[in-house]
Amino acid sequence: MRQGTPGHAGRVAVLLGLTWLLGSLGAVVGVTAAATVRPAAPSAQGSPAGRIVMPRGQTIVSVDAATGEQRALFTVPPTELILDVGLAAGGREVVFSGLTLARRDDPGGADIYRLPADGGEPVRLAAHARPGDILTAPLAVPGSASVVYTYTPYGLGDAAGEPLPRVERVALDGGTPSVVVQEAEWPAPTPDGARLAFVRRGARGDALWLANLDGSEAHELIPPDRFLSLAYPRVSPDGRRVVVAATVELPSLPLPTLLGGLGPTVGPAPGRGPRLASAGQLRRPGGHGLPWDLWSVALDGSDLQRLTQWYEDDPSLAWSPDGRWLAVLGGSGLRVLAVASGDSSWLRREPAFGAIDWGAE
């Protein structure tokens, strides 16, 4: 499910009719489905605590980080999907991307909503301007009653070529959204709310960037010739590192191999030449995307490290509030990773996709 660049099927499926996605979700949309619940094993770091909020088809789910027990917070009608979920207002609010599925006479679209974490009715914060546009990946800005998100203009009537996403910001009490960064997606604020990590597409691969919250003083942390695709950057609670999901290490494969082995190029972005088909665009009905893993980089762009060798299917991630754990959701289920030791344990074994967040009790 990713709009254009990484592989998270809900976004690309807007253009493909969502047929295969609905089929793959059919077995997991119910939050009462049987699953192996394995509490995270204690380690030198102790045990994880708090709750992880995540999308599961039409439902927003809260999972106990210590036990794996889950409960439904909110469910949308069968004509809609929950794409991404985050927490805001100190965990008292849930923000999410809700997609209206395409119909014969309507290409649908996705909007950003807020919802009381203890129940209630959602309030729309930001709406797509044209049929087919999608708003995704909402995250609260610490110290500010606002949310950043990705706006992708998939709307009808666009000029030929790949849609160029942008990062926007809107107040939690509504109002007119503002553009933060053009040609950017997957915004991730720093804990002090002063800066923003985000992903920017290149002709060869994706780059990870850091900028001030107003978009100024932007600079690269990971260059575009390092990975084919990046998704879901998250800044550590101590503000020192960014962890991001990545697929295909470009230095290990020559460009002709990628072009020949991974599929077709997609329409040229203006002024940048043809771009490789992303993991999301390489998905086929009933198929899977490229394998992903987690990488960590210092906030100054140094010390790039690989954290996992799981080869996961479309993983998203979230830091625990104490910064000792990472939650990872993907095609294998939901697990937690002890950052210091590298140990991991399963919380849920049902596959699910989309942005997640981790809050205190």
What confidence score (pLDDT) does residue 198 get? 98
**Topology adopted by domain 9-30+43-359:** Neuraminidase (2.120.10)
> How far is it, in rounded angstroms, from Cα 159 to Cα 137?
25
Could you report the per-residue pLDDT of 234-270, keeping only the tens digit for each? 999 999 999 999 999 987 655 444 444 444 333 333 3
Over range 62-67, report the average pLDDT.
97
Report residue 41's pLDDT band, with 50, 70 and 90 as the boundaries.
Answer: low
What confidence score (pLDDT) does residue 252 get? 63
Amino acid 251 reads: P
Residue 175 has pLDDT above 60, yes or no: yes
Could you report the per-residue pLDDT of 154-171, keeping only the tens digit for each? 865 555 556 799 999 999
Question: Considering the chain, what is the average pLDDT of its residues?
Answer: 82
Report residue 46's pLDDT band, with 50, 70 and 90 as the boundaries.
Answer: confident
Over range 74-95, report the average pLDDT.
96
List the structure tokens of 325: 């754990």
Domain boundaries, the chain: 9-30+43-359
CB 262 within 8 A of CB 300: no
Report residue 288's pLDDT band, with 50, 70 and 90 as the boundaries.
Answer: low
Q: How far is CA 33 from the centre of its chain?
A: 24
What confidence score (pLDDT) does residue 104 get? 86
What confidence score (pLDDT) does residue 119 get? 82
Three-state SS at 110 = strand
* Neighbouring C-beta atoms of residue 92, cutoff 10 Å: 11
